[in-house]
Amino acid sequence: MSLSKKLRSAITEAMEHHGGPRAAMLESLRMIQQEHGWVCDAHLEEAAALLGVTTAEMEDVATFYSLIFRQPVGEKVILLCDGASCYLNGAEDVRDAVMKRLGIGFGQTTPDGKYTLINICCVGGCDHAPAGVIGRNRKLVGPLTPDTIDQILGEDAK
Amino acid sequence: MSAEQPLTGRARPDRRPHTLKEWRKLGGYDAVERGLKTMTPEEVLDTVAAANLNGRGGAGFPAATKWRFMPKPGDAPGDGPSYFIVNGDEMEPGAFKDRILLEAVPHQLIEGAILAAYATYSSEIIVLIRDAYRDAIANMTRAIAEAEKAGYLGKNVLGSGFDVKMWVHPSAGRYIVGEETALIEALEGKRAVPRKRPPFPAQSGLWGRPTTVNNVETVSCVSHIVGNGAQWFRALSRTEEGGTKVFGVSGRVNKPQIIEAPMGTTAAELIERAGGVSGTGVLRCFQPGGGASGFLEPAEADIPLDFGHVAKAGSMFGTGTMIVLDESACPVGVIARHIAFYARESCGWCTPCRDGLPWVAQIMARLERGEGRMEDLQVLRDTVEIAGPRGRTFCDLMGGAMSPLGTGLARFGDLFEAHVREGCCPIARDYGRAVA
């Protein structure tokens, strides 16, 4: 599997835009993920070669940032806030309800490949607590309740 | 209460940002014209100094003092630009104030950044924004393109001879990226591990060049100071520290929200404006400025909230976004969440933080389950004393994590002990699990 022509040129462009190959590493990983949902080994190696950095350097960055996914994720990624303001408004009940409904824990993907569930630090939605962000466009949702999670899971966030 | 809300007053309720044309009609970019056409960089800096603008990212360091460390052209060693970086990596638990400034009023931030770059002899501005703020990333990027097209960014801005370019760097998670030297590492395409200081960023920052990093809200204040003067800005405040503050009130309140109010507004007033305490309606305690600020109690709800007054009360004003606990909410549970968060988000470089925080997190979880031991409490106290002070680690993440724990142990020691003695959370037992 190799990178599309469009992605290759976007990565090359990012080098000039962000002030050099190193500075464009994270942006390259973000762009690959935006198109493919996650960053596989082949894409990572190809992007590293394009930028002129080593695969190890690229991997170093890719594994540090929690929202660069190095394994396949579901069609919809659900990031549930575990910050204090959400906790104080029942986030753990929402978490339990989502886990029960999907049958997965944090860091896992449903067998049908539809959902991945991840916990995330404060999403800056304390005025919508308990909150989460869903889908590739990181749409803010909340206040969530155990009774309204169907709505969240069913809503198309793409 | 003063109705003046310079930072959020022009934001639309749905947060739809203004076009440049709309912004100009509201007086946008007048301050940039004034600053660049009629003032020297030194005069802009002196105005901000006279306004007494303290950094809104958490530390409260005077912005102008930070700016004065930047070398004048010719004084900087070697060749290359100086950088002005806007920190939009808002991830502190309980903080949601920069989001509105990035999403709804991006041109206000650009104005401030241009003037700040001018005052710090910087020719490149980078706005780092967290991944989850996609609207903020899109709105800022669009606004920058508009400003560039109109000649507010680029070569020879408004014929002043000042060259400056600006772009957005979207991040990809990890709380520690918001630490200013970690942020610089992130921009250099590395793991965001904080740097040892000295050298400070103004001496050697991004790519080894002089660099200033300021918070979104701090930068958003600058055009108002330059446009209306230092005296006007100081008069917005009820205390010595200038300006309004974009406060946040969340947790156990009926209407959690952002409130822009004079610096020095009290917690009691803000809680009232946020619809009052929810749940039992009785305030147990609050953290005045995000997860890393120490707990304060009802008796302290009437102190003026600014960096100086809150520090004197034994806490930290931090981000100014308070987390409220009512009588049915357990501080031990809140501390456990904070510690788990800081343990997970540590970059893992310094031993006290990398190894200490998971240890503390385990103890806190044990206490919550009702399986804690009395000697655990001494381990917690020792950790606060040993690992809490500045200077034991490269950055303040560990110190920040220890402040809710330290103040929690000091103020609610009996509650910690009750968790051990009674083998459960006594508050959860009496009130049930805290839900709205």
Q: Is A126 annotated as a binding residue?
A: yes
Q: What is the CATH number of the domain that holds B349?
A: 1.20.1440.230
pLDDT score of B388: 86
Q: Would an 8 Å CB–CB cutoff place A146 in contact with chain B?
A: no
pLDDT confidence band for A42 (50 / 70 / 90): very high
Q: Which of B174, B207, B321 sits opposite A66 (nearest CB)?
A: B174
Query: How many beta-carbon pairs below 8 A join chains A and B?
Result: 150
Over residues A62-84, the pLDDT tens digits come to 999 999 999 999 999 999 999 99
At B433 the pLDDT is: 65
Please compute the mean of the pLDDT values over residues A106-114 and round it to a whole number: 96
Give the C-alpha separation, A68 to B291, whole Å.
25
CA distance B397 to chain A (A): 14
Asked, for residue B431, whether it belongs to a domain, the answer is no
pLDDT at residue A150 greater than cutoff 90? no
pLDDT of A158 over the 50 cut: no
Q: How many Å apart are CA B102 and CA B106, to the nearest integer?
A: 5
Are B100 and B70 in a shared domain?
Answer: yes
Contacts of A66 in chain B (CB under 8 A): 172-174
Name the domain boundary from B217, B235, B253: B235
The reply to whether residue A121 touches residue B344, judged by beta carbons under 8 angstroms, is: yes
**What pLDDT does residue B3 have?**
67
Do B174 and B32 belong together in one domain?
yes
Residues B320 and B342 in one domain: no
From the options 2.60.40, 1.10.10, 3.60.70, 1.10.260, give the CATH code of A5-64: 1.10.10
Smallest Cβ distance to A126: which of B130, B132, B256? B256
Is the pLDDT score of A32 beyond 80?
Answer: yes
> Is A81 annotated in some ligand binding site?
yes
Top residue of A30, A55, A64, A77 to mutate, by most chain B CBs within 10 Å, is: A64
**B71, B335 Cβ separation under 8 angstroms:** no
Number of domains in chain B: 3
Task: Check residue A104 and report its DSSP letter.
Answer: -
Domain ranges across chain A: 5-64, 76-153
Which of these, B51, B54, B62, lies nearest to B232 by C-alpha position? B51
> With a cut of 70, which residues of chain B have pLDDT below it?
1-3, 433-436
Does residue B160 share a domain with residue B89?
yes
pLDDT at residue A105 is higher than 50: yes
Tokens of residue B230, six digits = 């230092």
Q: Is A136 on the interface with B (CB under 8 A)?
A: no
Same domain, residue pair B138 and B227: yes
Identify the residue among B96, B183, B187, B433 best suited for mutation to test binding to A, counting A beta carbons within 10 A and taking the highest. B96
Q: Please answer yes or no on whether B91 and A122 come within 8 Å at the CB atom.
A: yes
Summary mean pLDDT of chain A? 93
Say yes or no: B55 and B142 in one domain: yes
Please tell me whether the peptide bond between B201 and the residue prior to it is cis, using omega within 30 degrees of 0: no
The answer for A 49-88 residues in CB contact with B (under 8 A) is: 53, 57, 60-61, 64-68, 79, 82-85, 87-88
Class of domain A76-153: alpha beta
Which of A53, A84, A140 is opposite residue B94, by nearest beta carbon? Answer: A84
Contacting A residues, span 103-132, partner chain B, CB-CB under 8 Å: 120-129
**Which structural domain range is residue B415 located in?**
333-422
